[in-house]
Amino acid sequence: MVGKTQNKRHWSVGVHQLFKKIGIKQIAYVPDGGLAQLIKRCQDDRSIRSVVLTTEEEGVAQMAGAWLGGERGVLLTQSGGVGNCINMLSMIQECRIPLLSLVSMRGEWGETFPWQVPMGQSTIPALEAANVIVHHVGEAEKVLETVNAAAKLAFDANRAVSVIISQRISDSEAKG
Amino acid sequence: MALKKKTSWSNAVFKTLKENNVKQIAYVPDAGHTSLIEKAIDDNIVKPISLTSEQEGIAVLSGAWLGGDAGALLLQSSGVGNIINMLSMANECRFPLLMLVTMRGEWGEFNPWQVPMGQATQAVLEASGVIVHRAEEPQDIAETVEAAAKLAFEAGRMVAVLIGQRVVGVKDWAK
Amino acid sequence: MTQKLKFSLQRRQVVHQILENRGDAAVVTGIGNAVHDVASANDDPKNMYLAGVMGGACMVAFGIALAQPDRRIIVITGDGELLAGIGSLATIGVEQPENLFIIVIDNQAYGATGNQHTHTGRGVDLVGIAKASNFKNTALITNEKELQAQIPNIYQKPGPYFAVIKVVSKSSPRINAPKDGTYVSRRFRSAVAGEDA
Amino acid sequence: MGIQPKIVLDRRTVVKEILKDRGDLLLVTGLGAPTWDAAAVGDHINNFYLWGAMGGAALTGLGLALAQPNRRILVITGDGEMLMGVGGLATISVKKPPNLAICILDNQRYGETGMQETHTQHGVNLSKMASGAGIKNTSIVYTKNELKKAIPIFYEETGPVFVNIKVTDKPAPMTLPPRDGPLLKNRFRENLLGHI
């Protein structure tokens, strides 16, 4: 299902290196095709604890706990999962806890599954309504710098920031 | 203090729900909806469904509609943040959906933690394609629910009635 | 169908007893009564009060447990809060954090919203769900003797641990716990992770 | 943890067996492979496929069961889908719909996203979770023989019933039923109710 399996030039290489450089110790995710390569790199890295969730809101809570305990983490989710997080994000906003999330989009560029479209189209407005700063990236060569900027905004300026990775460049083929 | 107001509007709202043939009422217990929930439990025809999380309610009411029952979901504004992904099913299939949302995090709120979600409620619903009506006066609630029920069940739309915290009068209650 | 069992334990006393000799343990509370139960024992900087979200207490504590592997992290929450995020138990059961201890104060009602019955009063067995979620260390506590027998497990044995304590369905007076999230979160982080974290 | 019996059942064969004599059963399927499994048996007007809404299949079944007390409702879904809405088991157990049956095709994997392991691969037991949630009639199926015994449970025993069927992670070819939501909804309701 992943067309470009473990491509060494894939953007996930640089993002994983960045995670290490900025001291990411926990990642949490519901498995997702769009971020499969990044997840795999993090799983193979013994310095990062990878946690599989039953639903994405658990990951928001876990990241809050990571920060409370003095560690940095990243939540990896598909756009559909964003719709499961909105209430839990109120804790992030209320406590002004840094939250970095990477969201792989469905329901936009070239989508062939109608059921993905409603949530895909409401992902960004829903995040913004929940006071999350959104960076959208549609070109592979810009993913790294965008995640880097988002990480600074999150961990140094104490904000909730989502990097939205367009379906155009995520790993998931438009299935159908 | 708020108790009397609450009872009077919930009587009228329950009557409206019945008149619109609502058969399933799903809810996560909430102080603002207490009286409506009790009426749903006591009614011989309405099937009350107590949920662990609000998103379950969207799925239940989708199934209800498939089976020929109209339904309503009673929730608090914070619960709106739990249903966003599940709403995509109602949106995609164009299921009618009627939600009565008691607001927190606005008028006279004392718990800061309720404010972010309360302030985001309407925007998040609208981002998900839900038509939002607000009711700020007790005497407007039943009429608004009536209009929302028509829009939901007759015109096949997702509609939320936000019942203002001013009406719900949350101050006397525990958080 | 609704169980009408009489329990004698008082929620506040129970929480005070558990936290009496907490040492350097950190505590995460669920919404509602749990906040007041914990705050009334002592407003310790190592308390994180989740005063306004349902279903997140266990996973917040889990994140802390990973970040602070040498410290015991105790969750004190209610049955309704736990149920709203019950899938977390499966996630934690898979991850097996040895320093995480979950204590559910179960009065079988949503205390915060008018004491409607939760599912636990109607046949839902939280301990059974925890066991099914791969928790090896679980307990159902219904009286003083069982409580006394279980408290050492929270402080002396490895987790993950899960206990349900059945208490009388009665709210206790509210305590003015700090409710500003930016304050409690930063106070907690300094106390638990140090000023430099 | 104890030694788990070997997983031998093939999901397609299982679903075919279950639906062989379906009568007037109403079927709800969870997203992904269960939807394709049901479609592979043959698209049916009494099928409602969820193509999204992960975590919602069993509860959709509950709403349908309450609306149609004289019909038998079967939900077929996957372990990952069920885990995402697992609190729904408590909601269903409290409601006790006598006509609702839930069947989990548990391959211990997230099939749609690259076959990553789910929690059921690591000691989480969904049928015990269901029984912890208060559902009295739960079972787990590993063998053909057990499957044979389980099929009447779906159709005849007082619900809610919950059967966790362990299936291999061998992928089956995609067989896609209609996915247009309004179409699925309208044909299901029209057939069931005589109107849309």
| CA closest to B77 among chain A residues | A87
B45, B67 in Cβ contact below 8 A? no
Task: Please state whether A133 falls in left (phi above 0), alpha (psi between -120 and 50) or beta.
Answer: beta
Question: Structural domain of residue C131, as residue ranges?
Answer: 25-193
The β-bridge partners of C48 are C28
If DSSP codes are grouped into helix, strand and coil, which group holds residue A104?
Answer: strand
Tally of residues, chain D: 196
Show the tokens assigned to D33: 């492979």
User: Within 10 Å of residue A65's Cβ, how many Cβ atoms?
Assistant: 30
Tell me if chain C has a CB within 8 Å of the CB of D118. no
A165, A38 in Cβ contact below 8 A? no
Please report the number of interchain residue pairs, chain A to chain B, with beta-carbon separation below 8 angstroms. Answer: 88
Interface test with C, best of B34, B37, B75, B175 (most C CBs within 10 A): B175
Contact call for B128 and A57, based on CB within 8 A: no
Tell me if chain A has a CB within 8 Å of the CB of B87. yes
Q: What does each C-alpha distance from D24 to C108, D44, D73, D74 come to in angstroms? A: 39, 11, 9, 11
pLDDT for res A56: 95
Could you read off the pLDDT of C7-47 as tens digits, one per residue?
899 999 999 999 999 999 999 999 989 999 999 999 999 99
> Quick one: what percent of chain B has pLDDT higher than 90?
82
Run of H or E including C34: helix C33-41
**Rounded-to-integer distance, Cα C181 and Cα D30, Å:** 38
**DSSP at A2:** B
Show the tokens assigned to A171: 């790993």
User: Taking CB atoms and an 8 Å cutoff, what residues of chain D touch A176?
Assistant: 176
Contact call for C193 and A65, based on CB within 8 A: no
Contact call for A114 and D51, based on CB within 8 A: yes
Tell me if chain B has a CB within 8 Å of the CB of D96. no
Better-scored residue on pLDDT, D82 or C116 = D82
Average confidence (pLDDT) over A112-124: 93
**Rounded-to-integer distance, Cα C36 and Cα D81, Å:** 36
Q: Measured between CA atoms, how close is D66 to chain C, in angstroms? A: 18
pLDDT for res C111: 57
pLDDT for res A4: 46
SS (H, E, C) chain D: CCCCCCCCCCHHHHHHHHHCCCCCCEEEECCCHHHHHHHHHCCCCCEEECCCCCCCHHHHHHHHHHHCCCCCEEEEEEHHHHHHCCCHHHHHHHHCCCCEEEEEEECCEEHHHCCEECHHHHCCCHHHHHHHCCCCEEEEECCHHHHHHHHHHHHHCCCCEEEEEECCCCCCCCCCCCCCHHHHHHHHHHHHHCCC
CATH of the domain at C81: 3.40.50.970
Contact call for A60 and C185, based on CB within 8 A: no
Q: Measured between CA atoms, how close is D4 to chain B, in angstroms? A: 31
Give the one of B50, B61, B95 whose C-beta lies nearest to D91's C-beta: B50
User: Within 10 Å of residue B2's Cβ, how many Cβ atoms?
Assistant: 17
Residue B175 pLDDT > 50, yes or no?
A: no
Chains in contact with D, where contact means 3 or more Cβ–Cβ distances below 8 Å, are: A, B, C
Band of the pLDDT at C179, cuts 50, 70, 90?
Answer: confident
The β-bridge partners of A72 are A24
With 0-12 / 13-18 / 19 or more C-beta atoms within 10 angstroms meaning exposed / middle / buried, residue A13 is middle
Please report the number of interchain residue pairs, chain A to chain D, with beta-carbon separation below 8 angstroms. Answer: 50
Complex-level ipTM = 0.88
User: Taking CB atoms and an 8 Å cutoff, what residues of chain B touch C119?
Assistant: 50, 52
Average confidence (pLDDT) over B69-91: 95
Q: Which residues of C88-115 are buried (b: 16+ CB within 10 A; e: fewer)?
A: bbbbbbbbebebbbbbbbbbbbbbbbbb
User: Within 10 Å of residue D43's Cβ, how many Cβ atoms?
Assistant: 13
If DSSP codes are grouped into helix, strand and coil, which group holds residue A149?
Answer: helix
A18, A41 in Cβ contact below 8 A? no
pLDDT for res B26: 96
Average confidence (pLDDT) over B62-88: 95
pLDDT for res B111: 87
The residues spanned by each domain of chain A are 11-165
Candidates D68, D59, D67; CA nearest to D92 is D59
Tell me if chain B has a CB within 8 Å of the CB of D196. no
**Rounded-to-integer distance, Cα A154 and Cα A158, Å:** 5
Residue B3 pLDDT > 60, yes or no?
A: no
Q: What does each C-alpha distance from D172 to A82, A98, D178 come to in angstroms? A: 29, 42, 18
Q: Terminal CA-to-CA distance of chain D, rounded, Å? A: 50
User: Taking CB atoms and an 8 Å cutoff, what residues of chain B touch D51?
Assistant: 92
Show the tokens assigned to B109: 């709120």
Contact call for B128 and A83, based on CB within 8 A: yes
Band of the pLDDT at C1, cuts 50, 70, 90?
Answer: very low
Could you read off the pLDDT of B118-140 as tens digits, one per residue?
999 999 999 999 999 999 999 99
The residues spanned by each domain of chain B are 2-109+128-170
**A133-137/B22-27 β-pairing:** unpaired
Dihedral Cα C139, B30, C33, C189, nearest 10 deg: 90
Helix extents (H) in B67-98? 77-80, 84-93
Average confidence (pLDDT) over B148-154: 96
Quick one: CATH architecture of A11-165? 3-Layer(aba) Sandwich (3.40)
Candidates D98, D102, D105; CA nearest to D157 is D98
Q: Return the CATH fold of B2-109+128-170.
A: Rossmann fold (3.40.50)
With 0-12 / 13-18 / 19 or more C-beta atoms within 10 angstroms meaning exposed / middle / buried, residue D136 is middle
Contact call for D116 and A55, based on CB within 8 A: no
**Rounded-to-integer distance, Cα D196 and Cα B153, Å:** 11
**Rounded-to-integer distance, Cα B76 and Cα C153, Å:** 38
| CA closest to C88 among chain A residues | A58
pLDDT for res B127: 95
Q: Measured between CA atoms, how close is C46 to chain D, in angstroms? A: 30
Contact call for C119 and D90, based on CB within 8 A: yes
Band of the pLDDT at C52, cuts 50, 70, 90?
Answer: confident
Chains in contact with C, where contact means 3 or more Cβ–Cβ distances below 8 Å, are: A, B, D
The residues spanned by each domain of chain D are 11-193
Residue B6 pLDDT > 70, yes or no?
A: no
pLDDT < 50 positions in chain D: 1
**Rounded-to-integer distance, Cα A84 and Cα B55, Å:** 9
Give the one of A84, A89, A118 whose C-beta lies nearest to B91's C-beta: A118
For CA atoms D166, D169, D170, D176, give the dihedral sign: positive
Residue B5 pLDDT > 60, yes or no?
A: no
CATH class of D11-193: alpha beta
Residue A33 pLDDT > 70, yes or no?
A: yes
